[in-house]
Amino acid sequence: MQQLVRAGARAWLRPRGCRGLSALTEEAVQSAEKPEPLANAGPQAPVLRRCELPVPLHRRPVQAWVESLRGYEQERVGLTELHPDVFSTAPRLDILHQVAIWQKNFKRISYAKTKTRAEVRGGGRKPWQQKGSGRARHGSIRSPIWRGGGVAHGPRGPTSYYYMLPMKVRVQGLKVALTVKLAQDDLHIVDSLELPTTDPQYLMELARYRRWGDSVLFVDLEHEDMPQNVVAATSGLKTFNLIPAIGLPLHSG
């Protein structure tokens, strides 16, 4: 599965996991100010982006190509630098596993419920006297050994499986996921999510030409100003989905 990210979107995942209020606004402004290359011009200036957040001195930023969705051939429109603490952390598969399992289970509420012998209708009277009838002794017709009786240790009521991993573990899981995607050539950074047509077929042909794979996740920065072409094209396709950056999942689809 591949992810296309508007250039500059990822730098606001703070590397040290601390809360930042200004990084989000600064990033949104920054990507709006970047000059958009003209669609019809010939050789254009490459789109270059440096990393805004301070990089530790002993590490260098990771570099990635910026692509464009406007034409089939427009790969390598520019170059961007990505923060190493987010895009080249250690590939901690155990943290990835923990976060993936958490994502699967914390929302789960199981509605399985069985009736106990107290809840099954009937069964208040002793069926026959204790001694003398020759049969086994019983106290009610709804005990668990009877047919039609209650269940002794069955599932009881809606059960929730909610738990939370520490915030830093979840943040590290996202960083590791991005690192792994970038390292395995599944992450493509795009200058803008504008398409020339509304046709879903165009997206499929583009994905096939550039060898992205069967499914693509488009991630836009904000939910409000998504280009109409992308919204229309992805709503027609099942394996191509569009989400705002706030909803970035660790594992989806």
Closest contact distance (angstroms) between CB of 85 and another protein is 15
Closest contact distance (angstroms) between CB of 139 and another protein is 16
**CB-CB contact of 141 with 123 (8 Å):** yes
Interaction between residue 209 and another protein (CB under 8 A): no
Nearer to another protein, 44 or 215 (CB): 215
Q: Point out which span in 77-85, 99-107, 198-206, 225-233 binds another protein (CB under 8 A).
A: 99-107
**In Å, what is the CA distance from 48 to each residue of 152, 206, 234?**
67, 23, 28
Interaction between residue 136 and another protein (CB under 8 A): no
**CB-CB contact of 187 with 3 (8 Å):** yes
Interaction between residue 159 and another protein (CB under 8 A): yes
Residues 196, 192: Cα–Cα separation, whole Å: 12
Interaction between residue 187 and another protein (CB under 8 A): no
List 44, 98, 143, 241, residue binding another protein (CB under 8 A): 241
Closest contact distance (angstroms) between CB of 57 and another protein is 26
List 71, 124, 127, 249, residue binding another protein (CB under 8 A): 249
Q: Point out which span in 75-83, 185-193, 205-213, 233-241 binds another protein (CB under 8 A).
A: 233-241
The DSSP result for 197-250, as a single string, is: ---HHHHHHHHHHHT--S-EEEEES-STT--HHHHHHHHT-SSEEEEEGGG--S
Alpha-carbon dihedral 224, 181, 197, 239, rounded to 10 degrees: -90
**CB-CB contact of 80 with 64 (8 Å):** yes
Helix (H, G, I), strand (E, B) or coil at 7: coil
Interface with another protein in residues 13-72 (CB under 8 A): 13, 19, 21, 24
Interface with another protein in residues 2-21 (CB under 8 A): 13, 19, 21
- 243 backbone dihedrals φ, ψ, rounded to 5°: -135, 155
List 51, 66, 95, 174, residue binding another protein (CB under 8 A): 174
DSSP state of 93: H
Task: Give the residues lining the site for another protein (CB under 8 A).
Answer: 13, 19, 21, 24, 103-104, 106-107, 109, 116, 118-119, 156-164, 167, 170-171, 174, 215, 238-239, 241, 243, 245-253
